[in-house]
Amino acid sequence: MAKIYGYVRVSTREQNEDRQLVAMEGFGVDGGNIYTDKLSGKDFQRPSYRRLLKKLKPNDVLVVKSIDRLGRDYGEILEQWRVITKEKLAAIVVIDIPLLDTRQKERDLTGTFIADLVLQILSYVAQTEREMIRQRQAEGIAAAKARGVRNGRPPLERPSMFPEVLESWERGEISARKAGRTLGVDYKTFLTWVGR
């Protein structure tokens, strides 16, 4: 008997997947058949998605809330769509876009063409959005640097006893690790301070 599976994805552990879970429940997906990943959509190397893919059998249905929950890479979305519908012979339903419902086996050629076209357009938009996010981040970082804003933590201040510890280290009386411990920092920080 065919099963209905749901796939839910959020990009980070801090994000909440409740909205997608409510949509799955409303569609009638059993809670035990919902697979969740808390990882970026940049590729399909996600543990839960991989497990779900192995479970899919002919005539099963994979439900996602929106196409970007499946992924954000244009080529990869199209490839996964092909694997699911052509190799696995399973159906896909995108809740937010009724045109992307491959359960309708009796579809004519025009309906199939429209679904494929919509998928390609939406996949392209998802990837373009990801690239624009990256571009905006890079531009923001460059603008901040131009204003003199530093990224990361501020450098640690050297303790007042640094000169004495440095002299002991230079004479070979103590190791870099011991120098770091004495100064209350990691030995790598100590070596950075001395230019090594």
| Three-state SS sequence of the chain | CCCEEEEEEECCCCCCCHHHHHHHHHHCCCHHHEEEEECCCCCCCCHHHHHHHHHCCCCCEEEECCHHHHCCCHHHHHHHHHHHHHHCCCEEEECCCCCCECCCCCCCHHHHHHHHHHHHHHHHHHHHHHHHHHHHHHHHHHHHHHCCCCCCCCCCCCCCCHHHHHHHHHCCCCCHHHHHHHHCCCHHHHHHHCCC
Residue 48 located in a structural domain: yes
Of the two residues 42 and 3, the one the predictor is more confident about is: 3
- What is the percent of the chain with per-residue pLDDT over 70, rounded to a whole number? 93
| Domain end call among 112, 132, 152 | 132
Looking at the fold, whether 168 and 97 belong to one and the same domain comes out as no
Looking at the fold, whether 16 and 82 belong to one and the same domain comes out as yes
Lowest mean pLDDT among 28-42, 54-68, 116-130, 172-186: 116-130
Residue 101 located in a structural domain: yes
Q: Choosing from 11, 40, 48, 168, which is the catalytic residue?
A: 11
| Residue ranges making up the domain that contains 168 | 162-193
Nearest-angstrom CA–CA distance, 17 and 9: 7
Of the two residues 93 and 73, the one the predictor is more confident about is: 93
Name the band, by pLDDT with cuts 50, 70 and 90, for residue 42: low
| Cβ contact 165:174 at 8 Å | yes
Looking at the fold, whether 22 and 110 belong to one and the same domain comes out as yes
Helix/strand/coil for 92: strand
pTM of the model: 0.60
For residue 168, indicate whether it is catalytic: no
Total domains in the chain come to 2
Q: What token pair was written down for 188? A: 């790598």
Q: Is the pLDDT of residue 120 over 70?
A: yes
- What is the percent of the chain with per-residue pLDDT over 90, rounded to a whole number? 34
Name the band, by pLDDT with cuts 50, 70 and 90, for residue 38: confident
Q: Is the pLDDT of residue 43 over 80?
A: no
